[in-house]
A and B are shown apart, each in its own frame.
Chain A
């Protein structure tokens, strides 16, 4: 599983000497996390690119004590949530002014059933659920990535799972 790639141990900072290799090794895991939060394949590509650009620009801040995958996920998840907030603001403005023009929601057709289920959750809950259940990060790691307390992470994961379960039962 690609999640294993992101959970590898400490990486020497010299890994950034060959950033193309880092990009190719971590692109898919990062893209999946971003897409699970954004639920839009095209926008997820853009956000993933931006996340790698930010990672490259801030590579001096990377500390080899943590996993490289975790560091990249942290940047990408925060970028995804930030993008989603800005996009929701745009949607509200457009909906207020225009006339109800509504951007298509989650790419349920592309992502299948999971996209529609994840769409039931808030972006923060999506991030917590995906990072915890798919990538196997611990509460503490997820809390660090999202910049929230561990208790909030646990609540988001529990509520997220409950909402998804209800949505499945409803369907």
Chain B
């Protein structure tokens, strides 16, 4: 027996008329329900999206092994390689610009004693100024 459209429409009207919200009073209904459920949903969806992304990455990489290699072993190898690479350029440029400052800093102690004697003789040779005495010779 086929149902008439009027029956369906009547069912819609009667059914929806029977639905009532919790309260029509603004003061009673507003914020009456905690929003924890929707928060839980969004948190679960975000977690799920992240997990799905991770699964896709693992699947595309061909399994968890390559992914672990990429994230764990590769950085380790980079960290090993980077120091070897870093020192070489650091040494190369550093000698040119830094050689001057570092060498003095490192050699400060060594030249200091060298300079100490040199200045010390200077005052010792301070009598040299008398050399200008030859200036009169120039005259």
For residue A33, which residue of chain B has the nearest CB? B16
Which applies to chain A's interface (DSSP): helix, strand, loop or mixed? helix
**Cβ of B30: which chain A residues have Cβ within 8 Å of it?**
49
Q: Which listed segment binds B: A9-17, A59-67, A126-134?
A: A126-134
Give the residue of B5, B18, B22, B44 whose beta carbon is less than 8 angstroms from that of A45.
B22
Give the residue of B15, B27, B52 whose beta carbon is less than 8 angstroms from that of A111.
B15
Q: Is A1 an interface residue (CB 8 A)?
A: yes
**Cβ of B19: which chain A residues have Cβ within 8 Å of it?**
31-32, 35-36, 41, 111
The docked-state distance in angstroms from the alpha carbon of A93 to that of B1 is: 41
CB-based contact B11/A97 at 8 Å: no
Q: Is B124 an interface residue (CB 8 A)?
A: no
Min CB gap A61→B, angstroms: 21
Q: Is B112 an interface residue (CB 8 A)?
A: no
The docked-state distance in angstroms from the alpha carbon of A20 to that of B52 is: 44
Give the residue of A28, A32, A168 whose beta carbon is less than 8 angstroms from that of B3.
A168
**Cβ of A113: which chain B residues have Cβ within 8 Å of it?**
11, 15
Q: In A94-145, which residues have CB < 8 Å from any B CB?
A: 94, 96-98, 111-115, 117, 129-130, 133-134
Q: In A9-44, which residues have CB < 8 Å from any B CB?
A: 19-20, 23-24, 27-28, 31-32, 35-36, 41-44
Q: Is B2 an interface residue (CB 8 A)?
A: yes
**Cβ of B7: which chain A residues have Cβ within 8 Å of it?**
165, 168
Give residues in B with beta carbon < 8 Å to A.
1-3, 5, 7-9, 11-13, 15-22, 24-27, 29-31, 33, 35, 37-38, 41-42, 44-45, 48-49, 51-52, 55
